[in-house]
Amino acid sequence: MAEPHSIRVLDDTRNAWWNDDFLALVAARTGLDQCSYVLDVGCGHGHFGRRIAPLLKTPFEIMGVDREPQWIDVAARRARAFLSQSKLDGSLTYQSGIAEALPFGDHTFDAVVCQTVLMHLRDPAAALREFARVVKPGGLVLAAEPNNFGALQRLANDLDAPGASVEAHLLLVEAHARIIAGKRALGEGDNALGARLPALFRPFESTQFFTTDRPYVLAPPYESDAEQLVIERLRERCERDEAGWSRGDARRYWLAGGGALERFESVYASMVEHEKRELAAIDAGTHAELSAIVHFVAAGRTKR
């Protein structure tokens, strides 16, 4: 059985996605701060639940569900340490479940939240209908999802680097676009789903949209925990001769996105080479970049 995608992406770089005061603003504007019984769908290691826990009405209860049973124990263990340290008046509990068929009765929760979950689903609208089913009438549904085309901002950082060229960058843009399009065509998710949130949230009332105020920073001396994790992940990919997506996934998505089979190996090699140039510049202490994290929050309420 293939390993779940979450093994590659679940790490503490997620802690660098949000500023606490920004999340407090979102909570105040959406009314999340008046909710105490919250469902965290696709909770993974529990990152998002722990970030919003201090913002909820106490005593709070966060129920996390994830389709990967192995993450339930991880999330529970980290929740125990978090509650012991924070002394918050509340609980975080976890169980297995899938977004499209939640194991809860109708009108159960004050709010349903998710972080980077809808982007991995064949039918995100079906999941949102489930969120609406299990939330109380007039309850809050909140989703945080990216538009990963924003990663192309990073091409601005090595326009003058050895081996870089406008043509090489255009090739990377094509690869990014075809892979995202192919993944969506295969029904395996949409890495640009954040841009579609207004359409997906059309059934809800009082909709609001936000984008994180925290940028992506990677600059010498690379001292922050987030930077160290990013560099560690980059180094691992380079050691595997991979770039962003595994070679097998990238090939499937490239073909489904209309890419020619005979071009794939050269295109993927260019992607790997771009990553290795970046790693070499980091090791030389010369790589510095600042770009926006294109990460959106959508919030809306069900009808009363």
Average pLDDT in the chain: 93
Res. 253 pLDDT band, cuts 50 70 90: very high
109 burial level (CB within 10 Å; 0-12, 13-18, 19+)? buried
Q: What mean pLDDT comes out for the span 15-41?
A: 96
**Range(s) of the domain holding residue 246:** 149-183+220-287
Rounded Cα–Cα distance for residues 67 and 30 (Å):
27
The number of residues making up the chain comes to: 304
User: What's the pLDDT tens digit per position in 150-165?
Assistant: 888 888 776 666 666 7
The CATH number linked to 67 is 3.40.50.150
CB of 137 within 8 A of CB of 302? yes
Task: Give yes or no: residues 32 and 51 share one domain.
Answer: yes
Q: What is the pTM of this model?
A: 0.92
Which pLDDT score, from 0 to 100, does residue 155 have? 81
Residue 181 predicted with pLDDT over 50: yes
Task: Give yes or no: residues 134 and 112 share one domain.
Answer: yes
* Neighbour tally for 170: CB within 10 Å: 11
CB of 90 within 8 A of CB of 59? yes
Rounded Cα–Cα distance for residues 246 and 43 (Å):
23
Task: Give yes or no: residues 122 and 241 share one domain.
Answer: no
77 domain-assigned: yes
Structure tokens at 102: 């939640």
* Neighbour tally for 236: CB within 10 Å: 11
User: What's the pLDDT tens digit per position in 256-276?
Assistant: 999 999 999 999 999 999 899
Task: Give yes or no: residues 164 and 118 share one domain.
Answer: no
What percentage of the chain exceeds 70 in pLDDT? Answer: 94
Residue 12 predicted with pLDDT over 70: yes
CB of 154 within 8 A of CB of 124? no
User: What's the pLDDT tens digit per position in 212-222?
Assistant: 999 989 999 99
Task: Give yes or no: residues 21 and 74 share one domain.
Answer: yes
Q: How many domains does the chain have?
A: 2
Which pLDDT score, from 0 to 100, does residue 162 have? 66
CB of 14 within 8 A of CB of 225? no
User: What's the pLDDT tens digit per position in 80-112?
Assistant: 999 999 999 999 999 999 999 999 999 999 999
Which pLDDT score, from 0 to 100, does residue 177 have? 96
Residue 9 predicted with pLDDT over 70: no
Task: Give yes or no: residues 36 and 177 share one domain.
Answer: no
Task: Give yes or no: residues 143 and 276 share one domain.
Answer: no
Taking the CA atoms of residue 250, residue 252, residue 255 and residue 260 in that order, the dihedral angle to the nearest 10 degrees is: 60
1 domain-assigned: no
CB of 118 within 8 A of CB of 124? yes
Q: Specify which residues 188 forms β-bridges with.
A: none
Residue 16 predicted with pLDDT over 90: no
Res. 1 pLDDT band, cuts 50 70 90: very low
Which pLDDT score, from 0 to 100, does residue 156 have? 79
